[in-house]
Amino acid sequence: MIRDTVRAFVTDQILPRIGDWFEQGFLPKELARNLGGLGLLGMHLSGYGCPGASAVAYGLACMELEAGDSGVRSFASVQGSLAMFAIHRWGSEEQKQQWLAPMAAGEKIGCFGLTEADFGSNPAGMRTSARRDGGDWILNGTKMWITNGGIADVAVIWAMTDEGIRGFCVPAQTKGFTANDIERKLSLRASITSELVLHDCRLPADAAFPEVHGLKGPLACLNEARYGIIWGSMGAARTCYETALDYAKTRVQFDRPIAAFQLTQQKLVDMLLELGKGTLLALHIGRMKDGGRAAPDHVSFGKLNNVREALQIAREARTILGANGVTLEYPVIRHMNNLESVLTYEGTSEIHTLILGQAITGKPAFT
Ligand code: TGC
Ligand code: FAD
């Protein structure tokens, strides 16, 4: 039922407009309330106005959203799995009371600032700092590539303190906080990506997440968003596969539909195999997560495999569409370009390879 509901929403509300939004580099802020109304923001969290759905249900929703566009799934991922999850997992009771219900409803938007221009794969080196000043905190630094940054009401900011990395809830109206949107992206165009500048931002003592210190704070949140991508990438791949299959059945060359050529069938069958395997993998990891058995390494396994295969499916689909494959009249090149970002964010394919390499050999090879 959840899958069908989200699929109908995407068909009615997203697909008729997404080509234009992608071309214009735009995502309407009002989408937040629509997604919130459907219970898709913080869907797998419990209490504080969140639906408490299973991991599999949440995954299915991500798959359907990303079958529309990776930017739409990204919006829901950042809101629910990064910003809301961070507050839900690490926040004080007051922070949860203040932010979670309005964020679940889409009335307030959140973003998650971990990456910096010089510290992407290696966030441990971050320069953004938080120092105590009497009872307050003073934050300085610049975060880069932050999804939803320019439309956020609250930013979850990870900053270096004397006690290691800590997380902070930074309301967007805080003096010294500015967001500058990044223009000229050729991927994830229907998604707001911003630079966040923190210049002597003064925050009360209770802006900090009370307990968590160190990189495990943000990395625990990444597990959640990476999990959604395992499913979401298969949604994008499914749209590419279905588009290519439909096109191949009707496009005639040499007096035959191109679907009748063995080389085209080979491509379609290879796409179908990886789509089926990736979807089953997502379901398997989802069931492990629901059973409390999914470790971060399992999530890396799924993210690495499914995004890599989704991108390959998109590229193959693009070839089947020939010249039509390079226009926004069809969804394939939009998904293909989006998946380049999905391959990079939430841990690049190389980082997930190294995480798995360490898991099987016991030897870290990051440095
Ligand atoms: P390392 O020494 O391995 O670990 C530091 C501490 O963190 C713990 N830990 C984890 N905890 C929970 N979940 C995980 N997946 C964890 N991985 C590690 C670890 O146990 C340790 O805890 P403790 O208590 O001993 O302190 O850390 P490292 O500095 O060697 O880094 C490891 C590495 C490279 C894997 C990590 O830095 C990494 O994953 N880098 C990639 C960065 C990344 O993915 N950034 C994503 C930014 S957000 C984003 O892209 C949003 S995109 C928008 C959208 O989703 O749509
Ligand atoms: P780098 O870390 O500089 O990597 C460049 C290349 O070097 C990659 O191929 C990488 O795999 C490789 N490399 C790096 N280290 C190693 C190594 N040890 N061994 C082998 N190869 C290595 N971040 C947020 O915090 N919040 C967000 O909301 C957010 N949204 C994003 C939205 C978009 C559209 C994009 C594109 C990015 C977003 N990011 C966000 C940032 C994203 O997480 C980073 O881009 C990503 O972690 C990679 O960092 P980097 O771009 O600095 O690349």
Domain boundaries, the chain: 2-104, 110-207, 216-361
Taking residues 279-290, report their average pLDDT.
98
Widest CA span in the chain? 80
Q: Could you report the per-residue pLDDT of 98-112, keeping only the tens digit for each?
A: 999 999 999 999 999
In terms of CATH architecture, what is 110-207? Beta Barrel (2.40)
**Residue 199 DSSP SS3:** strand
Kindly indicate the confidence band of residue 117, based on its pLDDT and cuts at 50, 70 and 90: very high
Contacts of 19 by beta carbon, 8 Å cutoff, 6+ apart: 328, 329, 331, 334
- The confidence score (pLDDT) of residue 72 equals 98
Going by pLDDT thresholds of 50, 70 and 90, the confidence category of residue 26 is very high
C-alpha to C-alpha distance for 64 and 353, rounded to whole angstroms? 27
Q: Is the pTM of this model over 0.75?
A: yes
| Ligand 1 pocket, Cβ-based, cut-off 6 angstroms | 74, 77-78, 112, 114-115, 121-124, 147, 214-216, 219-220, 222-223, 225, 296, 345-347, 351, 355, 366
Distance 299 CA to ligand 2 centre (A): 17
Instruction: Give yes or no on whether 2-104 and 216-361 have one common fold.
Output: no
Tally of CB atoms within 10 A around 340: 16
Query: Catalytic residues, which ones?
Result: 346
Query: Residue type for 15, please?
Result: L
- Measured from the Cβ of residue 281, the count of other Cβ atoms closer than 10 Å reads 19
Closest CA to 314 of 17, 58, 66: 66
pLDDT one-digit tens code per residue, 285-316: 999 999 999 999 999 999 999 999 999 999 99
- Report the CATH number of the 2-104 domain: 1.10.540.10
Domain 216-361 homologous superfamily, CATH:
Butyryl-CoA Dehydrogenase, subunit A, domain 3 (1.20.140.10)
Ligand 2: residue whose CA is nearest its atom 22:
350
To the nearest whole percent, how much of the chain has pLDDT over 90?
100
Compute CA 81 distance to the chain's CA centroid, rounded to the nearest angstrom. Answer: 8
pLDDT given for residue 314 in this prediction: 98
Backbone φ and ψ of 257, nearest 5°? -60, 140
Q: What is the model's pLDDT at position 311?
A: 98
